[in-house]
Amino acid sequence: MGYTLNFAAVWRSFDQLLEGLALSLGLAFISILIGALFGLLVAFALIAKSGWVQRPAATYVTIIRNLPILVLVLFAYFALPQMGVRLGKIESFVAVLSIYSGAYLAEVFRAGLLSIPKGLTEAGLAIGLTPLQIRVSIIAPLMFRNVLPSLSSTVISLFKDTSLAAAIAVPELTFEARKINVESFRVIETWIVASGLYVATCSVLAALMRVAERRLAVPR
C-alpha cells in the first residue's frame, strides 16, 4: 500500500476535535439528565396499577424504542418546522435525545423498581410516610443503586448517539471530524483520531460509573 500516514493535518485541527468532543459531552449530559428525570416518572407509570397511567407510558416506550434515532433527529429538525414547531439545531437534537434516552432509561429503571421488595414500601407506609415520600426516600435511591451496572452501558450508548447530530450539522465530534476529513483529505488519520477520542471518552465514562457503583453500593 503506497499510503504513508501523516497526522500533521489532524493535529493542527485537534482543537476543533476537542471542541466537538466537548459539545458531544454537553449534549449527552443535558439529554441524559432530562431523560433520566423523565424516564423515572415513566418507569413509575409503567408499573402503575391504573391502566390510564400505565398505557400511555407503555405506548411512548414502544414507539420511541422502535424508531431509529436518526429518523427522530431528521423528523424533529426538518418535519417539525413544517408543523409550526421551529427549534434550533442544538435544541432540536437535545429534545430528541432526551425523549429517546427517556424511553431507554424508563425500561432500565422499571426493571430496577421491580426488584425492590414490597416489604420496604409497607415499612414506609407503616411509619406514616405517604406513597410519594416512599418513592423519593426509599424506592428511587434503591432502584438507582440496583440499576447502576446496566445504566453504564445505556449511558455510553446514548453518548455515542450524539454522533448522529452531525446529520443536522451540529458541530459535535463526528461533524468536526468530517470537516477535517474534507479539508485535509487525510481520511484514515482523521477517523483514527476521532475513533480514539470516542473510545477514550467512553472508557472514562465507564470507569466513572464503576466508581459511582462502588461508592454507592449498599454496605454489607
Closer of 68 and 149 to another protein (Cβ): 149
User: Quick one: which of 84, 127, 214, 215 contacts another protein (CB under 8 A)?
Assistant: 127
Closer of 146 and 190 to another protein (Cβ): 146
Does residue 22 touch another protein according to CB under 8 A? no
Q: How far apart are CA 37 and CA 15, in angstroms?
A: 33
Does residue 91 touch another protein according to CB under 8 A? no
How many residues sit close enough to another protein to count as binding (CB under 8 A)? 22
- The three cell numbers of residue 5 are 500516514
* Alpha carbon 4 to chain centroid, angstroms: 38
Does residue 119 touch another protein according to CB under 8 A? yes
Does residue 83 touch another protein according to CB under 8 A? no
Closer of 145 and 160 to another protein (Cβ): 145
Does residue 220 touch another protein according to CB under 8 A? yes
| Binding region for another protein (CB under 8 A) out of 105-113, 135-143, 180-188, 199-207 | 135-143
User: Quick one: which of 22, 37, 125, 211 contacts another protein (CB under 8 A)?
Assistant: 125
Does residue 48 touch another protein according to CB under 8 A? no
* Alpha carbon 176 to chain centroid, angstroms: 21
For the bound state, the minimum distance from the C-beta of residue 137 to another protein, rounded and expressed in Å, comes to 6
Does residue 212 touch another protein according to CB under 8 A? no
For the bound state, the minimum distance from the C-beta of residue 121 to another protein, rounded and expressed in Å, comes to 9
Helix H, strand E, coil C: the string for the chain is: CCCCCCCHHHHHCHHHHHHHHHHHHHHHHHHHHHHHHHHHHHHHHHCCCCHHHHHHHHHHHHHHHCCCHHHHHHHHHHHHHHCCCCCCHHHHHHHHHHHHHHHHHHHHHHHHHHCCCHHHHHHHHHCCCCHHHHHHHHHHHHHHHHHHHHHHHHHHHHHHHHHHHHHHCCCCHHHHHHHHHHHHCCHHHHHHHHHHHHHHHHHHHHHHHHHHHHHHCCCC
User: Quick one: which of 56, 68, 88, 141 contacts another protein (CB under 8 A)?
Assistant: 141
Question: By the criterion CB under 8 A, which residues form the site for another protein?
Answer: 117, 119-120, 122-131, 133, 137-138, 141-142, 145, 218-220
